[in-house]
Chain A
Amino acid sequence: MQKRLRRIGSILIFIGLSTIITIILENMSSRYDSLGVFDILPKKERVVINYLGTRVTRYLIEYTPSLAKITVRIIDKRGLDSIIEGSELKPIVEFKEIDGLDYTFKPPKRGLYAVIIKNLGDIPIRVKIRAFYSGYDYDIIYLGIAIILIGFTLIITSILYGKSR
């Protein structure tokens, strides 16, 4: 029993450590994604959906011609569900009547996020949207730390169990 607990503890410590090291290695450099170049007709909306971890995300939205104004809303999975169900949309953040966007945010949780862009002008616009990711996926790092702590707890329990006998 004592040996088994110690063994499971050591395995958990290795799992936790490898999880953290993987995240550090993978997130060491910042990443860039082109989320597309597309046209939006006057008074129409377009949605760009992507999967985000918990890294710091910077959205960069540019469009031409810059005569028109746009409205940008960022929503999460709940927002997407409300669009599907046709209920009231509650965005995480909303920018009204802007002429471009450079917005940095840290997603509160891992999952699907969408950027809704509305063309408020009377002419079609061509939008270019990019995302830059930096920092670390802290949710997985915390998971790794939790696994390591469970591993240590098991090892300490096994030592205490051995002393009590």
Chain B
Amino acid sequence: MNRSKLNKLFSLIRWEFMRNLRFPILEFIFVSAVYSIVSGLLNISSVLNVDIKGIGVLIYNIFAVEFIFRLGLCFVSKYDLIIAVYSLLASISFAGEIASGNMRLLLSYPLKRRDIFFIKCLCLFFIPYTIYLGVSLFFLLLMGQDIILYLSWYKFIIALFILFIESLYVFSISVAVSLLLQNTMASFLSTLLILYGLEKISFVLPSSIKIFVPPENLRIYVFYVLGRVFPSQYNSTLLFYSFINMLVLSLLLLFASYLYFVRVYEVCRRG
């Protein structure tokens, strides 16, 4: 890749940052991350009841596991905020720029559509994800001072992976809806309705189907991987498949959005 192309890509990244991180969008992402994580970590309710002779370093490990479990659970239970963050970003960056004509200007630059799509997606996806990661680490270190040495970083990475899958799923739907509707408000509201609707429907579904619907499958997964007890009514193999299905569905939606943006989307509509 030559130097001038790299410069163009960097200026595109800078453009994306300036457009999408303006007041109050970045503040909203920070507020949602702080609220999700602090409220989750405040309610550590693990109790250990042991004989005095049974006290050992293991007790610290038990509380360290509880901390990571709570963190994973707050990523999943504050799913609504993640929906709001990603649908807002995707509708501003894709639908908003198409509606305002900025996309036309962007596509007139000597950059391939493929590069524009990838950079937009990378910036939009990783900005909230990195903020959530930073805020989680900050509050985990602050609130778990006593057990910080005993934290399982391997489980912390699993919690982050669950957040990654959840964010990717929400993000892929948000991008697809934004490209389809090409109107900021309409795409924002539609994404919210679709994802909230799916979430609410999952509450009334039988457990055999519920296992395939986010964020219920992620909640079960948090209990399974980070928690202590695996709910007996669920099958662990099915849970694994539901996890893979979610990943594949997200990637397929992103690929379809990519194909639409690169091959189908017309800047000047004829008619």
Contact = CB atoms under 8 A, between A and B. Distances in A.
B145 A111 contact: yes
A19 interface: yes
B39 interface: yes
Given A19-B34, A80-B59, A112-B146, A47 B42 contact: no
B49 A48 contact: yes
A36 B50 CA distance: 11
Contacts of B38: 19, 22-23, 26, 140
Contacts of B43: 26, 31
A50 B35 CA distance: 24
Nearest to A111: B146
Nearest to B143: A110
Interface string A28-69: 000101011010000011111111010000000000000000
Interface string A67-87: 000000000010010011000
Nearest to B48: A49
Contacts of A33: 45, 47
Given A18-B34, A77-B146, A51 B63 contact: yes
Contacts of B49: 35-36, 38, 46-49
A14 interface: yes
Given A15-B30, A19-B38, A143-B142, A83 B52 contact: yes
Interface in A77-106: 77, 80, 83-84
B50 A49 contact: yes
Nearest to A55: B42
Given A19-B38, A22-B39, A44 B145 contact: no
Interface residues of B, number: 33
B90 to A, nearest CB: 22
Contacts of A111: 145-146
B146 to A, nearest CB: 4
Contacts of A23: 38, 42
Interface residues of A, number: 40
A50 B48 contact: yes
Contact of B42 (A14, A26, A48): A26
Contacts of B23: 7, 10
Contacts of B52: 45-47, 83, 116
Contacts of A22: 34-35, 38-39, 42
Given A14-B24, A27-B42, A110-B146, 18 more contacts: A11-B26, A22-B34, A26-B43, A36-B47, A36-B49, A46-B49, A46-B52, A47-B48, A47-B49, A47-B50, A51-B63, A77-B146, A83-B55, A84-B56, A110-B145, A112-B60, A112-B147, A140-B143
21 contacts: A11-B27, A15-B31, A15-B34, A17-B31, A18-B30, A22-B34, A23-B38, A26-B39, A27-B42, A45-B52, A47-B49, A47-B50, A49-B47, A51-B45, A83-B55, A84-B55, A84-B56, A109-B145, A111-B145, A112-B60, A112-B147
